[in-house]
Amino acid sequence: MKTLFIFALVMSVWSCSGLPVYDYEPSITEEALRASIGRVNSRSQWPALFGIVRSYVRGVDLLDNNDYSIVLDFIVRETTCTKDSEKDPSLCDFRVGRYVQTAFCRSTVRVSEEQIQNLAVYCSQDGSSSESSSSEEMMFMEMMAPNRRGDRRNEAQLAPEAFSAGRRRQSYKAQRQSSKANSYALE
């Protein structure tokens, strides 16, 4: 009898732990992730599709009775499929090699009545994110075209809002060659 009472007491404490319980369908997070990678691929200037390497739900904020915001973190990597193929990126193999494009992305998805209402995706190559951006604007890393592998100075010209101050590790000869290749005027 005493054991049953202690068990009931422990169960009542766990049910009143103060942790919020959200009533949302887990499938909506999968849909939000698909919409996020779709946005990444539609905004990317890279000819290949990007696929999701790893993802997780960073947080869910209840905004109203039926409205909530989902924050997703995920890592994308270049796949073997081109944009022209219009394939599902999850069915494509990831590229391997030294110059494969990879980025860390965070998306904020607003859901109302189990439907995606608003989506913002932020990506960076070094894993940092921009916390000062408003939810209405969209920053996306304009990835370099395959023939535009340049040094730090040229990367800043290609995508000033997305590339960090991090350096690429290239030999002096490789940097000189890429500087010559990128000496034309950028659009």
Three-state DSSP at 53 gives strand
| Segment (H or E) for 69 | strand 67-82
pLDDT level of residue 47 (50, 70, 90 thresholds): very high
**Numbered ranges of CATH 3.10.450.10 in the chain:** 21-142
> In this structure, how many other beta carbons lie within 10 angstroms of the beta carbon of residue 66?
13
pTM of the model: 0.56
Q: Work out the percent of the chain whose per-residue pLDDT is above 70.
A: 53
Q: Work out the percent of the chain whose per-residue pLDDT is above 90.
A: 39
pLDDT level of residue 142 (50, 70, 90 thresholds): very low
Which CATH topology does 21-142 take? Answer: Nuclear Transport Factor 2; Chain: A, (3.10.450)
> Which ranges of the chain does DSSP label H, i.e. alpha helix?
2-15, 26-43, 152-158, 172-181
Of 26-30, 49-53, 54-58, 166-170, give the lowest mean pLDDT range: 166-170
**pLDDT (0 to 100) of residue 25:** 66
